[in-house]
Structure formats: structure tokens, C-alpha cells
Amino acid sequence: MRKSGSTEVFTSLDDFYQRGDQVYLPHLSVDCAIFGFHENQLRVLLLKWKGGKWCLPGGFIKHKESVDTAAHRILQERTGLTDLYLKQFYVFGDPKREKEKKNSPHWIGKRFISIGYYALVEFSKVQPHPDVFSEACEWFDIDEVPGLIYDHKAIMMKALEALRFDLNDHPVGLNLLPKKFTMPELQRLYETILGESIDRRNFQKHMLSMDILIRLEERKTGGAHKAPYLYQFDKRKYMLALRQGLKLGW
């Protein structure tokens, strides 16, 4: 059994089990690893089934809907965000991937092949919404993710791997950080994604040499110690650099 997004076309949950395949493609689902960055940590948004395990937000594809649109719809339902960075990264097609599933006669009890997406969101803008199958929707530090249903842990790890890979030529920083951020924050983002530490001074030199950052006059106050400058991305130069193949990674 799986979670769905909007059930408004159905009169009841039972109706959804009975007639779901009239609306959705059978045997196919979309699962999303939604990444955010908060308090210098990479986080992932998880759902908790009523009385059950945690899982990645997911849903199904309508009969005449593109897979990308389905993923956007699902993400919008879970986060409230319409404008987020979304990337398909892998298909999970092992017939035994849904270990705990009991073979029910419903369409939803059958085997599902899942198309994996990862999303990058600005943490502070997200309003987590549980779906009808869930009792909670919360952020988890990626190092503290609990046991997940089915192969969702593997999906999440693969998403993280894809993210690490994409750091070079996809707008990761731009989509995870707030408008204004400090150099140390940007560095922590890289470090948490790559899982390694980077020399502070070399990092700054490297980032500035790309000419995609604008240093503001402001500094970030409040913290102890010396107040760091605030930066923002020069979005035009950033996207141009990506198109021209500049490596934004480490």
C-alpha cells in the first residue's frame, strides 16, 4: 500500500483503493527525496504513515499526466512550494523492492516501479503538510534518518549520491540557500553534501574566482565572534556559468 497526494476525485479512502487505477497509471509511482539546508545541516523531508514507518513523500502518475508534472504536483502538495528545483535521478525496478507489502487484490497492492526524484528547496519557505495516509511530515538531519519503509533508504542514499554528483554542474547552492548567506554557510553546504571538510581559505578563493557571488555591505550579526559578510548569488552569471560548463563543484 502506498501514499497518495490528492484524493479529491475520490469519495472515500475505500473508493481510492477500488478505483484508483482509473485515475492513476498502475504499477508506477514517484518518490521524492526533498532536501533542505538548515542550521548548517542537510535535511530531508519525511512522512510517517499512520501507525507505521517513515517514508519518502510519493504519489502516482495520472493517466494523461507527464511524469515530471506528477512529481511537481506531489511536491507541491507536501511542501506548499510550486517553484522548486526537481530532478529525476533513478528508477527502482526490483520486483522485490516492496518487502513489507502484502499482495492485496487492489491495484495498489500490486508491484510498483518507482521513479526517483530529488528536490532542492529553501528550508524556511517550506510548510510541511502530511497527506491523508500520514500522521506527520518532518525534517530529518540526513545523518539521523530512521528506518524507512521498503527500499526508501536506498532511494534516499541514491538521491544523495546524485546530488553529490550534480554539485558540479547543477544549481545546487542557488536552490538550497536563502537569498542572503555567508561564506561559511556556503562552505558547510558543500561539506555536508560531499562528506568531507574543505580548507576555509581555499574554498573562499575558489568560490570568488567563479565570479558568481555578490558580496553585500551587510554582515551577519548576532553570532559570537567576527561577523561574516553576507553574499548573494548573481543569478544571471550563475546560470550563464553553468551553461558554459564551468564547474561549480569542489
Angle among Cα 52, 78, 41 to the nearest 5 degrees reads 85
Question: Residue 226 interacts with DNA (CB under 7 A)?
Answer: yes
Binding-residue pattern over the window 5 to 44 for a copy of itself, x denoting contact by CB under 8 A? --------------------xxxx----------------
* Contacted by 204, from a copy of itself, DNA, none: CB < 5 to 8 Å by type: DNA
H helix intervals, 64-180: 67-79, 152-166, 172-176
Q: Which of residues 74-113 bind a copy of itself (CB under 8 A)?
A: 88, 90-91, 93-95, 111, 113
Cα of 207 vs its chain's centroid, Å = 24
40 binds DNA (CB under 7 A): no
Helix ranges (H only) for the chain are 13-23, 67-79, 152-166, 172-176, 183-194, 200-209, 235-243
> Of these partners, a copy of itself, DNA, none, which one is at the site of residue 171 (CB under 5 to 8 Å by kind)?
none
Binders in 164-183 for DNA, by CB under 7 A: 182-183
Is 201 among the residues that bind DNA (CB under 7 A)?
yes
Q: Give phi and psi for 32, each to the nearest 5.
A: -125, 130
Of 97 and 129, the one with the shorter C-beta distance to a copy of itself is 97
> What's the closest the beta carbon of residue 53 comes to a copy of itself, in angstroms?
23
The site partner of 136 among DNA, a copy of itself, none (C-beta below 5 to 8 Å per kind) is none
Distance in angstroms (rounded) separating the CA atoms of residues 233 and 177: 10
CA distance 60 to 110: 13
SS3 145: coil
Question: Toward a copy of itself, which CB reaches closer, 14 or 94?
Answer: 94
Binding site for DNA (CB under 7 A): 182-184, 199-202, 204-206, 219, 221-229
